[in-house]
Amino acid sequence: MGGIATGKQAVALSSGFCGTPLKKIVSPAKSASVSFAVRAAGYDEELVKTAKTIATPGRGILAMDESNATCGLRLASIGLDNTEVNRQAYRQLLCTTPGLGEYVSGAILFEETLYQSTTDGKLMVDCLKEQNIVPGIKVDKGLVPLAGSNNESWCQGLDGLASRTAAYYKQGARFDKWRTVISIPNGPSELAVTEAAWGLARYAAISQDNGLVPIVEPEILLDGSHSINRTLEVAEKVWSKVFFFLAENNVLFEGILLKPSMVTPGAECPERATPEKVAEYTLTLLKRRVPPAVPGIMFLSGGQSEVEATLNLNAMNQSPNPWHVSFSYARALQNSVLKTWKGQPENIEAAKKALLVRAKANSLAQLGKYSAEGEAEEAKTGMFVKGYTY
Catalytic residues: 217, 259
385: Cβ contacts below 8 Å, ≥ 6 apart: 303
Q: Is the dihedral of CA 369, 372, 378, 380 positive or negative?
A: positive
54-57: list long-range contacts, CB under 8 Å, 24+ apart.
Answer: 54/105, 54/106, 54/134, 54/175, 54/213, 54/257, 54/295, 54/296, 54/298, 55/105, 55/257, 55/295, 55/296, 55/298, 55/323, 55/324, 55/326, 56/105, 56/324, 57/324, 57/366, 57/367
Question: Quick one: which of 215, 263, 280, 228 has its CA closest to 62?
Answer: 215
Q: Which residues in 288-298 are b (16+ Cβ under 10 Å) and which e? A: ebbbebbbbbb
Q: Tell me whether strands 296-299 and 324-329 are parallel, antiparallel or unpaired.
A: parallel
Q: Is the dihedral of CA 300, 262, 298, 48 positive or negative?
A: negative
Backbone angles phi, psi at 163, to 5 degrees: -70, -35
Residues in the chain: 390
- Measure the CA–CA gap between 354 and 352, rounded to whole angstroms: 5
Say if residues 328 and 354 touch (Cβ distance below 8 Å).
Answer: no
Task: Write the CA distances from 9 to 6, 35, 196, 250, integer angstroms.
Answer: 5, 14, 23, 12
The vertex-194 CA angle with 189 and 198, nearest 5°, equals 155
